[in-house]
Amino acid sequence: MTDAIRINKFFTQHGICSRREADRLIEAGRVTINNIVAKLGDQVSHRDVIARDGQVIPWGQAPIYIKYHKPVGVTTTSEAHVPRNIVAEIGHPERIFPIGRLDKDSSGLILLTNDGDIVNKILRTEFGHEREYEVLLDRPCDEAFLDRMAAGVVVLGSKTKPCRTERLGPKRFRIILTEGRNRQIRRMCQALGYRVIALHRIRIMHLTLAGLPSGTWKALTPGEKNALLDAVQRYPDGKSVR
């Protein structure tokens, strides 16, 4: 079968789970190929019928996961009428949408996908996925400012979750959040009497901007995608893998 792939790769290509988890499902006897229980290493093609727990998994377009180094001035929206909207800037041949937001005045890493099931698992605060930023302020800050940022700041009537901060220079610091309120860092700084001059996101979970110049994008590598699926631990129906 010239178009054949390993059964565990079928699961990752369809955004179901990582290869490691697919192997666990196969070993547990929960996967069938043409109504025969699958074995590790089995090959499948479009002519085969694959099922998990008796539910057929249709062959279809593989989910897309890409990362983009957003420049200042690009708006994180899928609305075509908005000038310099992120979808038009990227120009991907398939329909994709951003996971979360990054302000027009901010730059850095943002993920895009056509897999709607993965979005909440990345964005919801209770899952605690990290996002790392570098911030430039309008004036020098002291350790008291960094400590107050790390402890949480009241913005729009509620206190932000504790986070981690690190000084990078007189006016620059790093902050790692596990939540993503609208314009959160800018509002936290403003509440403490500072104004953000530049905000740059350098990391989302295990994904970074390494090798990705401003204004460019690339698909996640198999390793990055598998780590992402492992981190969110979900099937397409949104149920967590235990």
> Which is catalytic among the residues 103, 115, 117, 230?
103
DSSP string of the chain? -TT-EEHHHHHHHTTS--HHHHHHHHHTT-EEETTEE--TT-EE-TTS-EEETTEE----PPP-EEEEEEPTT-B----TTSTTBHHHHHT-SS--EEES---TT-EEEEEEES-GGGHHHHH-GGG---EEEEEEESS---HHHHHHHHH--EETTEEPPP-EEEE-SSSEEEEEES---TTHHHHHHHHTT--EEEEEEEEETTEE-TT--TT-EEEPPHHHHHHHHHHHTB-TTSPBP-
230 catalytically annotated: no
Which of the residues are catalytic?
Answer: 103
